Amino acid sequence: MTRRVLQLLIGLPLYGFGCALTIEAGFGVDPWTVFAQGLSLRTGIGVGWVTNIVGLLVLLLWIPLRQRPGIGTVANVLLVGTAIQGTLAVIPPVSDLLPRILVFVAGVVSVAVASGLYIGARFGSGPRDGLMTGLNTRFGWPIWASRLTVEVTVLVIGWLLGGTVGIGTVVFAASIGPLVHIALPLLDTARPTRRAPQAAAQVEPA
């Protein structure tokens, strides 16, 4: 349990930190961050705070979809956007091409590792992921169709509102799945691990 809690409390702020790095790089961000950026530009509210607000509103959509939030779901709403806002407030701006590329790569890798940490903690899905699984459970939509429909919708709306869409958006979409596929098995708290040599024949969940 201690490991699970630590993974959750490290993973969610790290996720926000990674998102903030991709924002700072300026090459384009993931669909939900594009949406949050667009709303931020139109409302004047910081993009991190908008992320929290959007997470809360998405969580309300779980009610008709008959989804149940976990403690990790609530923590996601509270911590990810706060970490985005805090990171953007303290990191210096980058303008040269190479530093921007390095910042973007660091952001994507951070999001992947963070995803492995908080998903592997098994305290419940994030509000956005729960929306997609809820559409699958409630209406029978395939997960891929639910994800595609939701993310294309928020991407287009965010872009129309002024959010940053670019090559980084494509790179993020293409790389995040494989990177999380690597990170999650290493960080999944349900993954059996070997005990000390004298008890090597026994395994139990980490």
Contacting residues for 178 by C-beta, under 8 A, at least 6 apart: none
pLDDT digits (tens, 9 = 90+) for 71-108: 989 999 999 999 999 999 999 989 899 999 999 999 99
Query: How far apart, in whole angstroms, are the C-alpha atoms of residue 138 and residue 135?
Result: 5
Residue 68 has pLDDT above 60, yes or no: yes
pLDDT of residue 82: 97
pLDDT of residue 192: 54
Q: Which amino acid is at 195?
A: R
pLDDT digits (tens, 9 = 90+) for 154-205: 999 999 999 999 999 999 999 988 998 899 898 888 765 443 333 333 333 3
Contact present, 110 and 18 (Cβ < 8 Å): yes
Residue 37 has pLDDT above 80, yes or no: yes
Q: What is the mean pLDDT of residues 7-31?
A: 95
Residue 12 has pLDDT above 80, yes or no: yes
pLDDT of residue 201: 31
Residues 201/119/7/67 CA torsion (nearest 10 deg): -120
pLDDT digits (tens, 9 = 90+) for 44-67: 999 999 999 999 999 998 888 888
pLDDT of residue 194: 41
Which of the two residues, 113 and 201, has the higher pLDDT score?
A: 113
> Measuring CA to CA, how many Å separate 129 from each of 6, 101, 157, 194?
21, 28, 19, 31
DSSP conformational letter for 190: T
Query: How far apart, in whole angstroms, are the C-alpha atoms of residue 101 and residue 97?
Result: 6
pLDDT of residue 134: 87
pLDDT of residue 191: 62
pLDDT of residue 189: 83
Task: Give the pLDDT band (50/70/90) at residue 133.
Answer: confident
